[in-house]
Structure 1
């Protein structure tokens, strides 16, 4: 049984590393594309950079949340560890929703019609 826990812990650590790599590579690619576009004098570069950075961070956060959940399952489920996981997941979920609103201009549960004009029926 200890062997299984060890392998699951390796999976969790691997997912954490993948999440960090996704964020780092996404940021590097977005910055590289931004700099190349700067040389070509394109418009709306800042908005595009923010959108691409946000997408990389969103994907990385999702992978990190999965890693945290897996890591918590492997360890002893003490109240403190479960509370810590809950706080981490809440913070990352809030960040994910905030980033998605920044990228798409609407909440995830809104339809496109609702986001276009919130005051119409």
Structure 2
């Protein structure tokens, strides 16, 4: 009985963390789109300030994406703890590898564009 309740609690926690990760990504996209539209309306095509602003917007969006992906990995780990089947372990390993791969290259690209 306690084990079932614990699994349910962990599953709900995982869902909440997953929702938080989605909100981080959605917030980052909203902020980036708002900044991009403002920049495009005001921009001078060859202005250094406009290009710098675009780079800053891209950096911030990348940061939100990275944070969101890392939080999603945490949600997946908690979900696997709640339901530790071999199928869940394989699914978790696959998701972690894919998200880590994406995070690594996104982080690398962001550092190169600084």
**Interval of TM-score (by shorter of Structure 1 and Structure 2):** 0.7 to 0.9
Q: Which runs of 5+ in 1 are unaligned?
A: 107-121
2:5 and 2:29 mapped to 1: Cα distance?
36
Q: Give me the TM-score of the superposition, normalised by structure 2.
A: 0.84
Q: Which has the higher helix share?
A: 2
Q: Which has the higher contact order (CA 8 A, sep 6+)?
A: 2
| Equivalence for 2:37 | 35
Kindly provide the CA deviation profile for residues 39-72 of structure 1, in whole angstroms up to 9, marking residues without a partner as x. Answer: 2224214433322221111010011000000000
Kindly provide the CA deviation profile for residues 47-103 of structure 1, in whole angstroms up to 9, marking residues without a partner as x. Answer: 33322221111010011000000000001x222211110010000001111110111
1:97 and 1:74 mapped to 2: Cα distance?
27
Q: Which runs of 5+ in 2 are unaligned?
A: 44-48
